[in-house]
Chains A and B, each alone.
Chain A
Amino acid sequence: MEMIGMEGSHAVAEAVKLADADVVAAYPITPQTHIVERLAEMVADGELNAEYIPVESEHSAMSACLGSSATGARTFTATAGQGLELMHEVVYVASSMRLPIVMAVANRALSAPLSVWGDHSDVMAVRDTSWIQVFAENGQQAFDLTLCAFRIGEDPKVLFPVMVHLDGFHLSHVVEPLVLLEKSQVDKFLPPYKHPYSLDCDRPVTMGAFAMPAVYAEVKKAQHDAFLATKQVILKAWKEYGKLSGRHYSPVEHYHTDDAKVLLLTMGSFSETAMVAVDELRKKGEKVGLIRLRLWRPFPFEELRQAVANAEVLIVLDRCISFGGPPGPVCSEVRAALYAEQKRPKVVGFIGGLGGREIAVAEFKQMVSRGREAADKGAEAVPQITGIR
């Protein structure tokens, strides 16, 4: 396929079309709008043979997705920020009832004050919902990861829903060069969706029974175990996708990490800016590298430990504040993952990029020097906020 220029949102819509989704139920919210507008257009033009349900709220969007997925339809939705908060209750149900819905989240800050711009506060509020969660860094990845999301979630060994995170505006609204796939390639990669227990009059099932204390904990333990086991399927799907497309994904991705003493860790679109900062610092002879967390859930403990084993300082960027808690959710998880390691870097947490605030290359370089200083002084536990005027 040839390279084309396309907005991240439209790339997601193209992936949904290539996956031949059966049902899309969505409610518009900036910066997710371009995804669902494009899908509505595709349905209106007969390019995508799907039912588009223009629901009256995000709560109903995810609820309609439950019904649709349980009936055996390949189901997609997209949201952002407040929308994800409004559907919060239903997000838990989707995963706990093992319905492999795919949802793109054009990450957005949370009110108040109202902000339509990007950060990761919305993601962190759904961190523990047992949705598989991946982060894209550019439009190409948003496309690739959305296609992979259907394959992974619908695998009979998985049956969990998948969130594809793409930063609001930075990814959702930017036109980038990217390459799509042929329908024939996708058909080989993505088998038809078949839920083993869908709503069927010949084989009636009771879905969503309630649990007394005598069984609830066992159900949750089983869910946790099944969720952890999805990792193998994720790795396999990404490997196959790599063969198919030439684009390779892994839970933790490395950029100049081999000899790095100082490592940055990012999630999402800022990773590309951080790469430029690493390049510039390397030119000056500094042994700096970058770790990009691709797979947020299930958390890639092993891969992370290996990736940072030889570093002295690890600087983690969070685009979310955990008010009154540890520096940021990503940083505290990274710290927790490394706590039991004999040899581990000092971990310094930065919070930045809130509500659409840019982080430029120079600021990443500053984070490296400030982070290193804090580590030298033994002050790495103190959270730092970057870019505050």
Chain B
Amino acid sequence: METYAIYVPRLLPQKDFFAPGHRACIGCGEALAVRLVTKTLGRNVIISNATGCMEIVSSPYPTTSWRVPWIHTLFENASAVASGVEAALKILNAKGKRGDSPKVVAMGGDGATSDIGLQALSGAWERGHNFLYVCYDNEAYMNTGIQRSSATPYGASTTTSPAGKVSIGQTRWKKNLPAIAVAHNIPYVATACPSYPFDLIEKVKKAVAIPGPAYLHVLSVCPTGWRHATDLTIRIGRLAVETGVFPLYEVENGSYKLSMDFPKLRPVRDYLSPQGRFRHLHEEEIDRIQERVTAEYEKLKKKAEA
């Protein structure tokens, strides 16, 4: 919260490394997050990007939105590619064949991160490669048309978990990727959301300053997939945080710290009701979600107080 007290937009670097003109949808929270992350990282960075919305909207040959060295190869291997980049930089510097040490950053959507690419990411964490992995979590496979992922929240209707006469949509609770990251004993894990830009920026700075693997899980509001008005992106992100659906926190060397706490959380209904993907939910399911969110938030608070 301290950073909010010095809210001075002029303190932000002017230069953007994710150029305008990309083909993201109107109101895309993911593109906004990428812009903030790359703005913070600056020019000395090499990015390894998984297949997904951000890769597709930014790189239709022969155009590119990337003003930093950027490599995309496949859907599930961004962290393995980043491992190779990091190892190469290390040895080439040691052998005097390169004289620079750019930061290495891998990025992907929630599908690339928590489903198909989880093994490669776990491997990279275990091996201790010094790079930041940023997951842009828009809670489904958006690039291929809003199919469910393991990060899709309970009750959301997607094209492969459609709400129907006998289904409420997604029947599983969202996979807790930050907790999986913490279980790897990596030095830095944090959640963020571009609705809180200064918090996000500070976390990116911290993540790349700490040697060793770092993981940043960014809630990326998606009007197209979540089915809400395109001018509500920032608002919905704030509601996710204010309701406790997506708490902002950091875990440094295993110790949890809430980035902001609320004396009283808003009811989850405030977050769910503007979104078409939850429109079909009955009171009973909303209550169930409320119960779960409250309990999870309490658990998190306990960890932060410990």
B17 to chain A, nearest CB (A): 9
Contact flags (1/0) for A45-61 with B, using CB distance below 8 Å?
00001110111110111
CB-based contact B85/A199 at 8 Å: yes
Interface string of B50-88 (1 = CB under 8 A from A): 000001100111111011111111101100111111111
Among B46, B61, B76, the residue within 8 A (CB) of A210 is B61
A201 surroundings in chain B (CB, below 8 A): 43-46, 68-69, 100, 102
Would A210 and B88 count as touching, CB distance under 8 A? no
Query: Are B55's CB and A210's CB within 8 A?
Result: yes
Within 8 A of A (CB), among B73-119: 73-74, 76-77, 80-92, 94-95, 97-98, 100, 102, 119
Would you call B84 and A53 a contact (CB within 8 A)?
yes
**Does B80 lie within 8 Å of A60, measured CB to CB?**
yes
A interface size (C-beta, 8 A): 46
Number of A-B contacts (CB under 8 A): 165
B126 within 8 A of A: yes
Is A66 among interface residues, defined by CB-CB distance under 8 A?
A: yes
Cβ–Cβ contact A192 & B97, under 8 A? yes
B59 / chain A contacts, CB cutoff of 8 Å: 206, 208-210
Specify the chain A residue showing the minimal Cβ separation from B87. Answer: A51
In the complex, how many angstroms separate the beta carbon of B72 from the nearest chain A beta carbon? 4
Q: Does A206 lie within 8 Å of B66, measured CB to CB?
A: yes
- Does A178 count as interface, using CB distance less than 8 angstroms? no
CA of A20 to CA of B53, assembled, Å: 39
Choose among A54, A59, A68, A210 the residue that contacts B127 (Cβ–Cβ < 8 A): A54
CB pair A70 B60 closer than 8 Å: no
Is A388 part of the binding interface, using a Cβ–Cβ cutoff of 8 Å? no
Contact of A209 among B60, B80, B84 (CB under 8 A): B60
Nearest neighbor of A96 in chain B, beta-carbon distance: B73
When the two chains form their complex, are residues B83 and A209 in contact, meaning their CB atoms are under 8 A apart?
A: no
Q: Which residues of A contact B90 (CB under 8 A)?
A: 51
Question: What's the Cα separation between A64 and B91 when bound, in Å?
Answer: 14
Given A90-B77, A206-B59, answer yes or no on A73-B91 (Cβ-Cβ < 8 Å).
yes
Using CB atoms, name the residue of chain A closest to B86. A67
Chain A residue at minimum C-beta to C-beta distance from B102: A201
B70 touches which of A53, A64, A207, A212 (Cβ 8 Å)? A207
The secondary-structure label for the interface of chain B is: mixed
Cβ-based interface call for B123 (8 A): yes
A200, CB-defined interface residue at 8 Å: yes
* Contact B70–A68 (Cβ < 8 Å): no
A295 to B37, CA, bound (A): 47
Which residue of the partner chain B has the closest CB to A21? B91
Known: A53-B87, A204-B69, A210-B56. 9 other contacts (CB 8 A): A49-B94, A56-B123, A57-B119, A67-B84, A68-B88, A93-B74, A207-B69, A208-B59, A211-B61
For chain B, the count of residues having a C-beta within 8 Å of the partner chain is 49
Pick from B43, B80, B102 the residue with the most CB of A within 10 Å: B80
- CB-CB nearest 3 A-B residue pairs: A67-B84, A56-B123, A63-B80
A25 to B129 Cα, complex, angstroms: 13
Interface hits, A217-233 → B, CB 8 Å:
219
Whether B120 is near chain A, meaning CB under 8 Å from some CB there, is: yes
Q: In the assembly, what is the distance between CA of A95 and CA of B97, in Å? A: 24
In the docked arrangement, what's the CA distance between A50 and B94, Å?
A: 10
In the bound complex, CA of A187 to CA of B232 (Å): 62
Closest to B126 in A: A56
Residues of A near B158 (CB, < 8 A) are: none
Residue of A nearest to B84 (CB): A67
What is the chain B residue whose CB lies nearest that of A22?
B91
Bound state CA distance, A192 and B92, in angstroms? 12
In the complex, are the beta carbons of B95 and A22 less than 8 A apart? yes
CB distance from A63 to the nearest CB of B (A): 3
Q: Are A209 and B64 in contact (CB under 8 A)?
A: yes
Q: Does B275 contact A (CB under 8 A)?
A: no
Flag if B73 contacts A66 (CB, 8 Å).
yes
Chain B residue nearest in CB terms to A56: B123
User: Is A72 in contact with B84, judged by CB distance below 8 angstroms?
Assistant: no
Indicate whether A315 reaches chain B with its CB closer than 8 angstroms. no
Partner of A60, one of B68, B97, B123: B123
Q: Does B48 reach chain A (CB closer than 8 Å)?
A: yes
**A35 vs B256: C-alpha distance in the bound complex, in angstroms?**
44
Contacts of A59 in B (CB 8 A): 76-77, 80, 120
A71 within 8 A of B: yes
Question: Is B294 an interface residue, CB under 8 A from the partner?
Answer: no
Bound CA span A303–B69, Å: 42
Assess the B73–A23 pair: CB atoms within 8 A.
no
